Structure 1
Amino acid sequence: MPFPSPPRTLAGPRRRSLLVSAAGAALLTGCSSGADDSGTTGGSESAAEHARARAASDSETLLRHYDTVLAAHPTLAPRLDPLRAEVVRHTTAFGGSSATPSATATASPSATASSTSSTAAPETEGDALAGLAAAERSLADRRAKALLDLPGELARLLASVAAAGAAHAYLLTESAK
């Protein structure tokens, strides 16, 4: 026996057609011709190079911040050395120089602090960790916003480094508690 038809007909599109339309739109939006991903177009190449140089400079600045804190608070080295090493990798990935000396090197802390930053590190370890966490968080937020305008590979690299920075901020905040 056949099922009776509904008592009234529904106006507008059905749920299935809406889902198919939304999925199709998402697929079309996510596709690209590939030209923008290569970074070979005139305008996007200079924008990409500028963004890469900015990211390298930002990572170098963050690295100096780590070195300043480590010079002032060498007891934080077990916590900060792994995070600092990641910042060195980020700097190198963007084409920057990671030649900034480590604060845990044989140089005296006062010499390292004066060569790494013109500002002094906070007096307490908790304040130093909070300052590093704020710097990591701020930089991660700026990078997350900047990646929207970049070509494929550089956007993926910046997204990855922004995510790592957010994780560093979390770890620094948790270790301060």
Structure 2
Amino acid sequence: MSLPASPRLPSGPRRRSLLASAAGAALLVGCSGGSESGDQGGDPSAAKRARARAARDSESLAGRYAAVIAAHPGLAERLRPLREEVVRHAEAFGAVRAASPDASPSVSARAAGPEDATGAVPASEKDALALLAAAERELTDRRTGALAEVPGELARLLASVAAAGAAHVYLLTEGDG
């Protein structure tokens, strides 16, 4: 006797499987045998260029978040924590926040503000969230693809930030805010 099929199949990955797979990818990269310093065993200038690009990409993404928040204030509570995390990612890659240690969100918004964002913000909140999710997904894919090309410590950082980006995509597309 066979068991009846489940009446409701989940659409897409479950939150636990998404986070577990992202954590697993980070662990695999951590076990890749890369150097601890992040600059040995590879071209230091290539690593510097990759780090600088990652910082610029995160700053640009933070600018997109700021533009969407400015255009859709109703989304601010939902998006502000994600944007703040993206700003921290930029800093982890070497971007410099405003001089004041207690910089307000508006100060960091000027550092990576809406003028850095490419394109206009869609008129509907749903489309604006889709725009952010697409930007996060594209950046996550690019960072995941670069893992094999950078030294160990930078690869671990890229993997960690890519995993966070994948979680952001989930929160932007499936999360209920």
Cα root mean square deviation, aligned: 2.6
Identity %: 59
By how many angstroms is 1:93 displaced?
0.2
Taking the TM superposition and a 5 Å limit, the aligned residue runs for 1:147-162 are 147-162=147-162
Counterparts of 1:176 and 1:121 in 2: how far apart (Å)? Answer: 21
User: 1:129, 1:172 within 8 Å by CA — same for their partners in 2?
Assistant: yes
User: 1:129, 1:176 within 8 Å by CA — same for their partners in 2?
Assistant: no
Per-residue CA distance 1:18-39 (angstroms, 9 max, x = gap) = xxxxxxxxxxxx674x6x4434
| Partner secondary structure for residue 123 of structure 2 | coil
Name the count of aligned residue pairs: 138
Residue identity matched to 2:140:
A
Counterparts of 1:71 and 1:98 in 2: how far apart (Å)? Answer: 20
Counterparts of 1:118 and 1:139 in 2: how far apart (Å)? Answer: 14
Higher relative contact order (CA 8 A, sep 6+): 2
Taking the TM superposition and a 5 Å limit, the aligned residue runs for 1:161-176 are 161-175=161-175
Per-residue CA distance 1:57-97 (angstroms, 9 max, x = gap) = 10011011001100100110111011011001101000013
Residue identity matched to 1:82:
P
Q: Does 1:139 align with 2:146?
A: no
Per-residue CA distance 1:110-132 (angstroms, 9 max, x = gap) = xx74x343532100000000000
User: 1:144, 1:162 within 8 Å by CA — same for their partners in 2?
Assistant: yes
Residue identity matched to 1:87:
V
Structure 1 unpaired stretches of 5+ = 1-29, 107-111
When Rg is computed on C-alpha atoms for both structures, the one with the higher figure is 1
TM-score normalised to structure 1 length: 0.69
Residue identity matched to 1:160:
S
Counterparts of 1:31 and 1:56 in 2: how far apart (Å)? Answer: 23
1:49 maps to which residue? 48
Taking the TM superposition and a 5 Å limit, the aligned residue runs for 1:63-78 are 63-78=62-77
Taking the TM superposition and a 5 Å limit, the aligned residue runs for 1:13-162 are 32=33, 36-41=35-40, 43-99=42-98, 102=105, 105=106, 113=114, 115-117=115-117, 119-162=119-162
By how many angstroms is 1:176 displaced?
7.0
Structure 2 unpaired stretches of 5+ = 1-30, 108-112
By how many angstroms is 1:47 displaced?
1.1
Distance of aligned partners of 1:41 and 1:137 in 2 relative to their CA distance in 1, 3 Å threshold = same
Instruction: Give the structure with the higher percent helix.
Output: 1
TM-score normalised to structure 2 length: 0.69
User: 2:61, 2:136 within 8 Å by CA — same for their partners in 1?
Assistant: yes
Counterparts of 2:140 and 2:118 in 1: how far apart (Å)? Answer: 23
